[in-house]
Amino acid sequence: MTPLYTDYFKLGINHHLLFPAVTDDWDLHEQTLKQLAQMEVFEVLDLLLPLEAERLGREVDIIQASGKEVIYNPPLLGLEPGLDPNSTNAKVHERTVQRALAHLEAAHRAGARKMNIASGPDPGPAERPAAKAGFVKFLYELGSEAADRQMLVLIEPFDRSIGKNFLIGPTAEAVEIVERVHQTGVENVALMLDLGHVHLLNEDIHQAFQLSAPYLHHTHVGSCVKRDLDSEFYGDTHPPLGLAEGECDVPEVVEFFEAAFAVGYLRSGHRATVTLEMQPYPGLSAEESIDIFLEKLEQAWSLYWEQAGPAEDAEN
């Protein structure tokens, strides 16, 4: 008998990708947050919040009333003018840290215990050592402040060549960065893993889980488009599962489950977090798209247990 996936993980949804317009319309942001807060199927909300005090207070009230777990996803600082988490320029570094700390405080007010963070732009091979050192310093400072709030800072690896073109980057190098930060005495910096990003990185999902496992605290399920340059979803745009030009559908989610069970991220007695991070299907509403997301998730979960689930779970 196939167990319920809720026995093994808490399912989340990414708010601002399901409703892409909310990043330019804070009234819509608040309205759609209320909508997701009422959906019992999701125990976790991956989100970002407004920094304006009055609106932030209202949205925090919505979240707290819902009882849902929050995983905070700040804007990609490396794409904001004048900011760069990798920078060795003292002024840029300080501006970036202060911006990150503002989001850390918003996350803390919402009750988040995890905050995803990305590196900045990849400067190319010759400059990568200095950029990595800058990113380690940034994470040391952010992680130190997060520790005071009992929060984890999770590095989210991105590709270097198709979508965001960020420094970190390959999973192995993300692990290296975590270990370097830990050597400074800040141990609340860890990793998250994104199925779509793994495909953009041209990595194997099993290897990515194996490398990440000692430091892995969150995951995203989604897709990407990397072979059709004319697609509206080309690059790191978080398309929905199953697009003809996309890389991920039900079989890839089955592989995600296989890899997650193999390293113990998913296991009996431990409810990890798995967030659906996708835009709606072209021509369909967010609500219609959610129905398809959930259908595909259930298909993949059933197939996993039919093929290998009980044996793998027995080993964990």
Contact call for residues 34 and 68 (beta carbons, < 8 A): no
316 confidence band (pLDDT: 50, 70, 90): very low
- Give the Cα separation of 46 and 65 in Å (integer): 16
DSSP-derived letter for residue 87 is -
pLDDT in tens, 75-87: 999 999 999 999 9
Mean pLDDT of the chain: 95
Residue 44: band (very low, low, confident or very high) from pLDDT cuts 50, 70, 90: very high
Is a pLDDT exceeding 60 seen at residue 311? no
d(CA 152, CA 236): 24
Facing residues of 270 across strands?
Answer: 267
**What whole-number distance in Å separates Cα of residue 126 and Cα of residue 167?**
12
- Which stretches of the chain are DSSP H helices? 15-18, 26-37, 53-66, 90-109, 128-148, 171-183, 195-200, 205-212, 250-262, 286-307, 309-315
Q: Which two tokens stand for residue 273?
A: 């977090």
Please provide the size of the chain in residues: 316
How many domains are there within the chain? 1
- CB 279, CB 239: distance < 8 Å: yes
Domain of residue 58, CATH code = 3.20.20.150
Predicted pLDDT of residue 315: 42
- Residue 48 belongs to domain spanning: 5-315
Mean pLDDT of 217-228: 97
What's the pLDDT tens digit per position in 181-221? Answer: 999 999 999 999 999 999 999 999 999 999 999 999 999 99
Do residues 182 and 143 make contact, with C-beta atoms less than 8 angstroms apart? no
Q: What is the pLDDT of residue 308?
A: 73
Rounded to whole angstroms, the Cα distance separating 147 from 145 reads 5
Q: CB-based contacts of 221: which residues, under 8 Å, 6+ apart? A: 195, 241, 253, 256, 274, 275, 276, 277, 278, 297
What is the per-residue pLDDT for 104? Answer: 98
Residue 312 has pLDDT above 60, yes or no: no
Instruction: Evaluate whether 103 touches 115 at the Cβ level (below 8 Å).
Output: yes
